[in-house]
Amino acid sequence: MELKNNTVLITGGGSGIGFALAKRFTKAGNQVIICGRRKEQLEIAKIKLPNLICYQVDVSQEKERLDFVARVTLEHPALNVLINNAGVQNRPAPLVEPQDWSKHRLEISTNLEAPIHLSLLFIPHLQKQTHPVIINVSSGLAFTPLSFMSTYCLTKAALHSFTMSLRHQLKATPIQVVELIPPAVNTDLGGTGLHTAGVNLDEFADHCMSKLEQGDLEFGFGTSEERRHFSREQLDQYFLTMNK
């Protein structure tokens, strides 16, 4: 994709991978819009990147998605890149034990319903733009789940599937559909300190920008790049090792 002169919306752009991409897109000469639930996190992002445009939105809520898409396309008619990045990760009790369903539901509504619905809502607008792109942020866990976070992993597997269908269906339109597949990255996903073993955030974000510039439509980094190419036997073996 063209890496400058875009108007880029990054959901969940106030922290982690979203903010690292926001910094790079801003530096490359793009107008960047971010959204998130926490006002204070958006304010911190805005202090670090004064040109950011911030919206406080909860993308897990259907009504908020509808209102947000109407508002942001009216206020920023040049918006041509949607990055579905917002996500949450829960570590539920073992599945044989009683569950707090609201936590599973939140993962499904944030990580899966939101990117599907936002993609569908933005398609009519994006079709009229130059160089329109939808980028969905899935996960290496889409290919080999960690069974103790089964719902998180299924949302990412389903998002991978949806992204393939979307890309195929939009082939005849100008909209490019990209899947960005992070491995474990050192962010605060799921809570502070849970991803310190992950790869360096800046290294990962730099890699993403260079893959986007090269025009790759699906890419991972390190182990997620390996996993997206694995045979069924390799996936089974990796699954067993991960879930020991």
Ligand X SMILES: NC(=O)c1ccc[n+]([C@@H]2O[C@H](COP(=O)([O-])OP(=O)(O)OC[C@H]3O[C@@H](n4cnc5c(N)ncnc54)[C@H](OP(=O)(O)O)[C@@H]3O)[C@@H](O)[C@H]2O)c1
CB nearer ligand X, residue 2 or residue 225: 225
- Closer to ligand X at the Cβ: 134 or 189? 189
Please give the Cα distance from 57 to 193 (Å, whole number): 25
Q: Which stretch binds ligand X (CB under 6 A): 1-9, 52-60, 120-128, 228-236?
A: 52-60
Q: Is 12 a binder of ligand X (CB under 6 A)?
A: yes
Q: Could you write out the DSSP letters of every residue in the chain?
A: ---SS-EEEEETTTSHHHHHHHHHHHHTT-EEEEEES-HHHHHHHHHHSTT-EEEE--TTSHHHHHHHHHHHHHH-TT--EEEE-------PPPTTS---HHHHHHHHIIIIIHHHHHHHHHHHHHTTSSS-EEEEE--GGGTS--GGGHHHHHHHHHHHHHHHHHHHHTTTSS-EEEEE---SBSS-TTSTTTTTTSBPHHHHHHHHHHHHHHT-SEE--THHHHHTT--HHHHHHHHHHHT-
Q: Choose which of 6, 11, 31, 119 interacts with ligand X (CB under 6 A).
A: 11
Q: Sketch the per residue contact string, 197 through 216, with ligand X: x for CB under 6 A, - otherwise.
A: -x------------------
58 binds ligand X (CB under 6 A): yes
Question: Using the rule CB under 6 A, which residue among 85, 129, 163, 176 binds ligand X?
Answer: 85
Q: Is 22 in the site for ligand X (CB under 6 A)?
A: no
State the nearest-atom distance from the C-beta of 20 to ligand X, in Å. 8
**87 in contact with ligand X (CB under 6 A):** yes
* Using rule CB under 6 A, residue 62 touches ligand X: no
* Inter-residue contact 240 to 203 (CB < 8 Å): no
CB nearer to ligand X: give 17 or 166: 17
Residue 152 known to be catalytic:
yes
The 135-164 site mask, x for binding ligand X (CB under 6 A), equals: --x-x-------------------------
Q: Exactly one of 19, 25, 122, 152 is catalytic; name it.
A: 152
Give the CA distances from residue 146 to residues 102, 230, 240, in Å, rounded to whole numbers and listed in that order: 20, 16, 9
Show contacts with ligand X in window 167-196 (CB under 6 A): 182, 184-185, 187-189, 195
CA distances from 26 to 8, 29, 75 (A): 9, 5, 19
Q: Which of residues 26-45 bind ligand X (CB under 6 A)?
A: 35-38, 41
How many chain residues interact with ligand X (CB under 6 A)?
31
Q: What residue ranges bind ligand X (CB under 6 A)?
A: 11-12, 14-18, 35-38, 41, 57-60, 85-88, 110, 137, 139, 182, 184-185, 187-189, 195, 198
